[in-house]
Structure 1
Amino acid sequence: MTNTSASVTDTALQGLPEVIEAIRDEWNVPGLATAVVKDGQVILSQGFGKRSIVGNLDATDQTLFAIGSSSKAFTAMAIAMLVDEGLVNWDTPIKHYLPTFKLYDPIATEQTTVIDLLAHRTGLPRYDLGWYNASLSRKDLFERLQYLEPNKKFREVWQYQNLMYMTAGYLIEALTGQTWEEFVQQRIFTPLGMTTSNFTPKDSQQTSDFALPYREVKEEVQQMEFYDRFQAVGPAGSINSSVQEMCKWLQCLLNKGKYGETSLVSEAQFAQLIAPHMVIPPSNRRLRNNWKPFITIMAWVGA
C-alpha cells in the first residue's frame, strides 16, 4: 500500500484499501488512486501502487491520471451552463447555431439537437479511426462529419460517438468565443479549485506528480509513450486530473451543481444533465449478466 492523503474515516470502509490493493495486484495494474465521498465529505482518498515503476514513485491521491471519457461530463456541464445563460437551447437544432453543420443523413442534419449529440443517438457508429492518431483540427473533423455514413436511423438506438462530443465542444467555441479548454478551465476548474487538472499529457508532465502510461504485452506490463493527439476530440476525453481534485467535481455533482458557495449551474439544468434520454442496450451476454450496475452508472454520468 502507498501514500495516503486522507485515511479511511468511516468504519464501513475498513478493509477496503486491502481489497483494492488485492484487485490491483490481480489485474497487474501498476498504480491507481481512488476516493469515496459520503454525505458531501471525502472519507477515503488514496493512491495504490506506483505511478512510475522504473522511478519507484508511489501513486497518491494527487497523482494526475487521464480521466478519459469522464471528460464528457464536463462538456455536458458546460452546455448546461450555456443553456442557463440563454445562449443555447437543449431542443433547438444544432444547425441554428452552426449553419455549416452537416451530417450524411439530411434528416439528422436538420433535426440534431444538443441532447442528440450528448445522448449518443445520431445514428452514427464510432468512426474513431477518423480521428485517432490524425493531425486534423477540431474544425477539420467538424467539416468531415457529412461524409460519415450512419448505420442506424436517427434516434433509433444508442451508439457511443466521440465525434458528437467533439461537435458539442466546437459549439461551445462558436457560442462563447472561447475554446472548449478555455471555457472548462475558467468556468469549471477554477471555481472548483481544480488547480492541477489540465488537457494535455505535456501539461501533466510539467507537474511533480503524474502517472506514466503503461500497457500489458503478453502478460508483461510495459511503459509506453504518452498519446498526444487527442486535442481535436478533446471534449470527448482529454482531461487529466487527480482523485483529490475529482472529489471536488464529485461533490459538486452530488450537490446538484453547487460546490460550497459556488453554483456552476441551476438545479433545473442540472436535472436535465442526469435525466434519462436514451436506453443503453446490452452489447453482449457478459454485459447483460454481469455489468448492469456499470451500464446504469455510465448512463447517469453521460459517459
Structure 2
Amino acid sequence: MRKKYPLALFVVLFFGFFIREVARPSRLEAARLKYEINRKAALLDPAFSQFIEDYESFLWQQLEEEGVPGAAVAIIKDNTIALIRPYGARSAGSGKPVDLHTIFRVASLSKGFTGMLAGMMVEKGALSWEEPVREHVPGFRLKSEENTRNLQLQHVLSHTTGLPRHTFSNLLNMGVKYDKILSMLPGVEVTHPVGVYHNYQNVAFSLAGDVMEDVSGQSFAQLLENHIFGPLGMKDASADYDTMRLASNVALPHKRIAAGYAATEVEPDFYEVVPAAGVNASISDMAKWLQALMGNRPEIVSDSLLNQVFRPFVEIPRNDRVLRNWHGLQSAHYGMGWRILKTREGMEVIQHSGYVNGYRAEIAFSRQGRVGIVLLTNAPNYTVGHAIPAFFEQYLESCQQNDAVAQKPKRSSL
C-alpha cells in the first residue's frame, strides 16, 4: 500500500529545494565569474590565492546555511580586485540573480562617505573639522546651551555630540521628517559634554550634511556625485529614495518568516538622513570605493586625507554591541565616520557595519596589510557580522602559516 504524505510536506520540500537553488548563480554566470577570479588570482601570490579560495568557500557555506536570499562580496589585495562575486537572488523565489551591478542599500556604510566628503572639503579649505554646527544650521539647539555652543563638525562625525545613543532613530522608522526631529532635540537631556563620549547617532550625524550643504550651496547627494561617485566611476551609486525605487536592477529587502525570508518593498525610512544611511550602491561601486579607501586613487583621495579621516578621535565603549564579534581587540576607536580597530595581533582595521530595513552590509580593510573586504546582503542575517572578523582572523592565520613555511630550513641534498 502506497504511503500518503500531507500536502504541506510536499510544499515545504519543494520550496525548501527551490529557495536553496536560487541562491546559486546561473552556470553561465558562474563560469564567467570563475574565469574572472582565476584571471585576477594570477596577479596574486599563490598563498593569497589559496586563502581567497578557502574564504570564499567558507562565506558561501555561511550564506547558504542561513538562507540569505542575495549577497555580493568584493576583496581587494594591494591595488587588485582579488575577488568580486554576486550570490543568490534579488528577491527570494524570483529567479532573478544578483549581478555585479545589482543595487543594495549600504545603510550606515553611508557614514564613511560622509566623513570622507567632509575631509575633502576640509582639505580644500572650504571648512574645518572645528566648524561650529550652529553657524550653518539655522535654529539648531540642544537642551544644553554649552553643548549647542561647542558642537563642532568633528563631534558630529565621531558621535560625540553628548546626546544619548540613537537619539530619535526610532522616529525615522515612523516616517517623521528630519526637520521635525531636529526641532525635538532641545527636549532631550544630554549625557556628556561634546567631544568626550561615543554615543552612536543617525539623526545628529546628519547635521554634517547640513553643514556641507550650507557651505557649498549644493545638495548632499550632488556633493557625493561630484566628489566621490563620479570621479571614482561608481555608476550605479546614488543617495536618494526615488532613484532606488525606480531602478530596475535592485536587490529587494527581506524580512524573516517561519519558512526563511520573504521579499518586501524598498521603504523610504532613513532616506531622511542620507549622510547617515541613504547611499545605494552595487558591489562594482563598492569595490571601487574600497580601492580608493586603501590608497589606490590618490588623485581623488589623498593619503593625507585618509590619515585625517581615519585618525582615532574617541574610544568606543568596550561593551558596545558592534564589537561583539571582534574578539581580543587591543583597542577600538571612532574617527570621522569610521571605526578604527586594533586586533589582538596588532593589525589596524578600518571598519563600518550597517543595517537598515532588510539590508545588512559591512566594509573593513587594513592599510597596513593592504587587504580589504566589503559584503552586501538583502536580508537581516548573522553571517555578515561573523564573516568580516573571520576574514581577518583567517588572513592573519594564513600569513603566519606562510611565514612559518618560509622560515623552515630546507634539507640539503647529499
**Normalising TM by the smaller chain, what interval?**
0.7 to 0.9
Q: Given residue 294 of structure 2, which amino acid in structure 1 is its aligned partner?
A: L
Alignment partner, residue 96 of structure 2: 57
Alignment partner, residue 32 of structure 1: 71
SS at match of 2:313: coil
Alignment partner, residue 259 of structure 1: 297
Q: Given residue 77 of structure 1, which amino acid in structure 2 is its aligned partner?
A: M
Alignment partner, residue 131 of structure 1: 172
Aligned length: 298
Q: TM-score, normalised by structure 1?
A: 0.88
CA, structure 1 residues 41+89, in 2 after alignment: closer, same or farther (shift >3 Å)? Answer: same
Q: CA shift at 1:242, angstroms?
A: 1.1
Q: CA shift at 1:49, angstroms?
A: 1.6
Alignment partner, residue 118 of structure 1: 157
Give the unaligned 5+ runs of structure 2: 1-23, 42-48, 341-349, 354-414
1:272 pairs with 2:305 = no
- Judge conservation of contact 2:198–2:316 (CA < 8 Å) in 1: yes
Report matched runs for 1:3-42 at 5 Å.
3=29, 5=33, 6-8=36-38, 9=41, 10-42=49-81
Partners of 2:102 and 2:121 in 1: CA distance? 31
% same residue: 26
- Judge conservation of contact 2:106–2:279 (CA < 8 Å) in 1: yes
102-111 or 292-301: bigger deviation: 292-301
1:241 pairs with 2:281 = yes
Give the unaligned 5+ runs of structure 1: none
1:148 pairs with 2:188 = yes
Partners of 1:204 and 1:153 in 2: CA distance? 38
- What are the Cα deviations for residues 161-190 of structure 1, in whole angstroms up to 9, with x where unaligned? 111221101111111111111110121101
- What are the Cα deviations for residues 46-104 of structure 1, in whole angstroms up to 9, with x where unaligned? 01121222321112232211111000011111111111222211123223444533111
Q: CA shift at 1:200, angstroms?
A: 3.5
- Judge conservation of contact 1:248–1:259 (CA < 8 Å) in 2: no
SS at match of 1:19: helix
Partners of 1:33 and 1:70 in 2: CA distance? 15
Report matched runs for 1:1-303 at 5 Å.
1-2=24-25, 3=29, 5=33, 6-8=36-38, 9=41, 10-98=49-137, 100-125=139-164, 126-127=166-167, 128-136=169-177, 138-218=178-258, 220-255=260-295, 259=297, 262-264=299-301, 266-283=302-319, 287=323, 290-291=326-327, 298-299=339-340, 300-301=350-351
Partners of 1:173 and 1:270 in 2: CA distance? 22
Q: CA shift at 1:105, angstroms?
A: 1.4
- Judge conservation of contact 1:142–1:167 (CA < 8 Å) in 2: no
CA, structure 1 residues 287+76, in 2 after alignment: closer, same or farther (shift >3 Å)? Answer: closer
- Judge conservation of contact 2:221–2:240 (CA < 8 Å) in 1: no
- What are the Cα deviations for residues 246-297 of structure 1, in whole angstroms up to 9, with x where unaligned? 1111111111xx627x324x43332110000011112269945754569678
RMSD: 2.6
Partners of 1:51 and 1:200 in 2: CA distance? 20
- Judge conservation of contact 1:118–1:164 (CA < 8 Å) in 2: no
Q: CA shift at 1:301, angstroms?
A: 4.4
Q: TM-score, normalised by structure 2?
A: 0.66
SS at match of 1:175: helix
Partners of 2:326 and 2:352 in 1: CA distance? 20
CA, structure 1 residues 144+185, in 2 after alignment: closer, same or farther (shift >3 Å)? Answer: farther
